[in-house]
Amino acid sequence: MDKNMRICIIGGGPAGLSAGMYLEKKGYENYTILEKNDRVGGKCWSPHYNGRRYEMGAIMGVPSYYAVKDVEDFCGITHDGPKLNRNYKDKTGKVIEPFEPKKNILKIPRLLKMKKQLKVFGELLETKYKGYDINGHRGVAEGRYDGFAVTPGREPVQGENPNLKDLCLPFAEFCRKNGVELVQDIWIGPYTSFGYGYFDEIPAAYVLKYLDFQTTMNFVKVNLWTWKEGTQYIWEQLNAHLKHPARLGSAISAVERRDGKVYVTVNGQVEEYDKIIVTAPLYVPNKESRSDGLVGMVDYFDAREDEKALFSKIDYERYDVLAVETKPEDHPEISYYVFDNMVKERLGHLMVYYRRWKDTVDQVITTYSLRKHKDMAEVPYDKCRQMVLDDLKTMRNPASNVINEWSVYYFPHVFSADYADGWYDKVEAMQGKYDTFYAGEIMSFGDMDETAEYSRELVERFF
């Protein structure tokens, strides 16, 4: 492609900013990043409180976050944040140690069986499901893999593997099919509690492309990265180091694609581009009920029928975050996971709450809850909020005040039937059509590294 072409990138989150960085690295410098909000970072949001930053969105990374490492190297920063650790409670607030045999004598047979299944699972992923961990979803429904390896070198790989079609199944069914049901006890912590849905509804491809074996073991071993100034700092730094930082407060009211050009109306002014990369939401179901007015690209683009038909299949999680103060005597001594509440029968309850700074009690605690399952009635926001506050009392860490709250458009995805029907291959076949490229969470996964890595792949493939 002509490296002087004008490229518009919609969205100043990890996907959009990374797209700018990777384009710049390849010699494309005529790009513009448009961000509607007054900050960059997307779901990496790290507000300030009492002189320090806390997390309302992404919290941590692991050593296999190679795209995030690209950003660190580009900006000259590193993961310098507090060391995180956690413990566990049951739904009554009792501290438990679910993975410690000496503390769970009656569960020793189950724990031994889990350990055996974990070993089998690791071997299955490397052999039977070779290619499962490639970034993005291209070819999975057709039994093939095509992308970049999850290695520091991220070399391009491709191949045929009919077994990959199993990744279209819900993760719980995938585990049953392979006789490794108990590994769900390990994967659920960094999956469901992080807001990505329940194992009986979400295709295994999402679970395993995010939580590939090495990433999951890093979470298990608490081999984590954090940033002193929060995950938002990564993207603030990237934005500051780009030749063309994101233009904040850019309200896009229309995008028209005709005659090989793309016309974007921004804050009432029409701008002309040659290509456009969309990292913002493609579709927002039930947008009328959202208080933030969020819409998908099909609402402000001159969306074609194929775009509307495919993107209308997208759903998203209702994942809520509260930042609360506590009295000093009620401040938790560590972060806690509540496995009892990570099942659909406990929809809306507190799943995890984080203490980020262990050297002080004058910081906030952040709480996380899910209130949607595809087969159940959605729990209203206000009801969920009260359930979480009640749960904190049950945990004996009651909130004295709520200082921040967020109900964000989270983890866009499709369900098993549409995944198996080739949704991703149909969208991938449209890349570049209408001078438009689709990136962001839906094209890979909803964590910051997967979205940034997909932007890298998009640039490598098409620019």
On whether both 145 and 202 belong to a single domain, the answer is yes
On whether both 232 and 216 belong to a single domain, the answer is no
On whether both 72 and 29 belong to a single domain, the answer is yes
What does residue 370 show for φ and ψ, rounded to 5 degrees? -110, 140
pLDDT > 90? residue 133: yes
Residue 331 lies in a domain: no
Indicate the pLDDT class of residue 18, thresholds 50, 70 and 90: very high
Indicate the pLDDT class of residue 159, thresholds 50, 70 and 90: very high
Residue 359 lies in a domain: no
Quote the pLDDT of residue 104. 74
On whether both 124 and 211 belong to a single domain, the answer is yes
E strands in 139-274: 144-148, 156-160, 252-258, 261-266, 269-273
- CATH code at position 118: 1.10.405.20
Of the residues 162, 190, 220, the one at which a domain ends? 220
On whether both 137 and 156 belong to a single domain, the answer is yes
Domain extent at residue 166? 108-220
On whether both 154 and 247 belong to a single domain, the answer is no
Of the residues 220, 246, 273, the one at which a domain ends? 220
> Whole-model pTM?
0.96
Q: Tell me how far the alpha carbon of residue 103 is from its chain's centroid.
A: 34
Instruction: Give 212's Cβ-side CA count (13 Å radius).
Output: 23
- CATH code at position 45: 3.50.50.60
Q: What is the pLDDT of residues 34-61, one digit of tens each?
A: 999 999 999 999 999 999 999 999 999 9
Q: What is the pLDDT of residues 90-106, one digit of tens each?
A: 999 999 988 887 777 87
Residue 271 lies in a domain: yes
Residue 12 lies in a domain: yes
Of the residues 198, 220, 242, the one at which a domain ends? 220
On whether both 37 and 185 belong to a single domain, the answer is no
Q: Please answer whether residues 160 and 143 qualify as being in contact, where contact means their C-beta atoms are separated by less than 8 angstroms.
A: yes
- List % helix, strand, coil for the chain (3-state, nearest 5): 35, 20, 40
Residue 343 backbone class (left: φ over 0; alpha: ψ -120 to 50; beta: rest)? beta
Residue 458 lies in a domain: yes
Overall domain count for the chain: 2
On whether both 237 and 216 belong to a single domain, the answer is no
Residue 373 lies in a domain: no
Residue 337 lies in a domain: no
On whether both 194 and 258 belong to a single domain, the answer is no
